[in-house]
A and B are shown apart, each in its own frame.
Chain A
Amino acid sequence: MTTETIEAPRSARVSKRSTNFEKWGWLYMRGSGVLLVVLIFAHLFTNLIAGEGGVKAIDFGFVAGKWANPFWKVWDTLLLWLALIHGSNGMRTIVNDYVGNQRLRKIIVLALLISSVVLLVLGTLVVWTFSPCPAGALPSDLPSFCPAQ
């Protein structure tokens, strides 16, 4: 048969190695999705069902009480990072699907990136520098449970 005379191609396919980001993006969406199911439902349960008074009990004092515990600080930071990146990566996917114009696509994806980074930094700062009774504040601005009040 002729197969004996055909040699293998001289050069194999050269891998482009350009974007493996899509693979990691896909993996991230699966991983963060599974974690978020646990994080979000536990968050909803402790805020709405476990405590006395349900949704009406959520106020400044409730949040201050929760963030007095480092466990909830870590929990809420995880929730913030996983959910925000999950959401903005989903938005990026939709933009790549529906925005045909390359220039416009780049502008929107860049805007998404910037807004996500700003929100992540601001959110993390709020969670970790939160102080319900800052020193030097006017007593009238402070909530009722602060000792200076």
Chain B
Amino acid sequence: MRPESEEDLSHVIRSAREPLTPIGGGTRLRPGEGQGERLNVSGLTGITLYEPAALTLVVRAGTRLSEVREALAAEGQMLAFEPDLRPNSTMGGIVAANASGPRRVQAGACRDALLGLRYVDGQGEVIQNGGRVMKNVTGYDLVKLMAGSRGQLGVLTELSFKTAPIPPCAATLALPGLDAASAVAALTLALTGPYDVSGAAWLPGQGALIRVEGLEGSVAIRGQALSERLARFGEVAMAEADPWSRMVPTAAEGDLWRIICRPSEAPGLLAALPQPLALDWGGSLIWVAMPPGEAPSLPAWSGHASRVTGAAPLTLPAPNPVVQRLNASLRERFDPRGIFASGSSCRPILQKSS
């Protein structure tokens, strides 16, 4: 099914008798998702409004990220949250996954750039929330609730974003001598000083990576100051190629896991894990491959870990029962007939971290 308009979509949902899985480009599905009949949203396309002087973009949810990037670049702008580019990736899919890249440490996540949206709920009702202005506290913020809801509450049809100017200049410092655990201290130093860092990551073979962006003179000043402060961690070099578009790794073997933690907790977690595939967000995000079906055995920490590829969904530690009840009740209110099959990340998960 590939509706061409919001009305078509609403009709499809109203008349559905079996579970549906809303799909954009289908590039960000997780284990357990995509089991209903595919409801392809990629027919709802097009930029409906773009005002560069107001930093505002409104697009239909099926519009491809590549098209949006091109339109913005033509005006010297970008999506500051830097979603990773995957072939066929749509804006609806990006919002449904709250997909956010390295610049999150400076500019926030997808949900922070999302100003408003329209969606069709499980009863086929068309609902709008938020708007197209940067400050808006009128009514409940369903925009945040829908961002990252993975198609469980409704099908996104139109999205408005805050855009940002592309910085005229960027520089990436590399500390190639650091392993993942020791990189965290260097990233923390960069993020806790007045350097306005827009990327703080670690990649195997490349070491710690720190990006500053802005006007040319400013980038030179901050780059220099950072190099001096970071010298105590070893060699500091300018990174040659731009590493920032490759921060979401794939697991060549095994299941890909995504772990969220406080940076100060990262070294302890890394000690209990195989060599990671990447660190991002100053060490708050760890990407690691685990043998198929195996869960990492981690010391208690304040974040969570989820399996991103593999056979079965799993999130550690098990969510709090009250939070689970709130999640389940919200799904029931937005989709009382249980039409949206997508996702099991909110379903009670009984396995516990050992």
Task: Determine if chain A interacts with chain B.
Answer: no
